Structure formats: C-alpha cells, structure tokens
Structure 1
C-alpha cells in the first residue's frame, strides 16, 4: 500500500480545490509507475505548514523570495 505525505505552505489552501487536485495527481503518478492496483490502494495526506514554521537555509520562509528559484506565484503573504 503506497503512502504519500505532502507538506506545503498552508497558504496554498486558499484554493479549496487544491487538496483534491494534489491527491488525484499524486495517486495518478503512483498508478502510472506501479499500476492501477497500487493507485487504488494509495493513501495521500496533504498537510499545510505555516511559513514561519518552515525553515530553509537556516531561516524561516516568511518573506517572498525566501526560496530562490521556486515559483511562488500562487502563494500569498500577510
């Protein structure tokens, strides 16, 4: 039974369809590699993490541009 746990910035959840799309996409990826039986038995957990609780390079990800080279266009900031 494949088990996937995805952690993303919680501000991605402003789009109420985000979790459903991620679950479907990750399950499809498992199916494409391991077969449809594995996809049917896949568990996906999508969890939001506050930027202040997510660190990279020794600092929290609280400002735009903190993750250089990553497209943060869908993100929002307070």
Structure 2
C-alpha cells in the first residue's frame, strides 16, 4: 500500500475542488507507476501549511 503525505500553502484549499483533484491526481500517478491494485490501496493525506511556517531557499514564504 502506498501512503502519500503532501503539504501545500493553506490558501490552495480555498478552491473547493483542490483536495478532490489532488487526491485523484496522486492516486492516478501511483497507479501509472505501480499498477491499478496499488492505486486502489493508496492512502493520501493533504496538509495545509501557513506560508509563515514554510521556508524555501533560506527564507520564509509568508
């Protein structure tokens, strides 16, 4: 079974379709690499992170 955790800026979740579309896309990606059986056993957790708590290239993004 695949287990995927993905983090995004919180504002991504303002779009009501974001979570559904992301879960579908990640599940499809697993299936395209590992096969349909693996896709059917894939668990996905999406996390929203405040940009003030997200660092990139040594700087906070918020």
TM (normalized to structure 1)? 0.77
Task: Identify, as 1 or 2, the structure richer in strand.
Answer: 2
Paired residues in the alignment total 62
* Structure 1 unaligned residues grouped into runs of 5+: 63-78
Instruction: Compare CA radii of gyration and give the structure with the larger one.
Output: 1
RMSD (Å) for aligned C-alpha atoms: 0.6
Q: Following superposition, which runs of at least 4 residues in structure 1 exceed 6 angstroms of deviation?
A: none
Structure 2 unaligned spans of 5+? none
TM superposition score normalised by structure 2: 0.95
Q: Judging by fraction of residues, say which structure has more helix.
A: 2
Is 1:47 matched up with 2:47?
yes
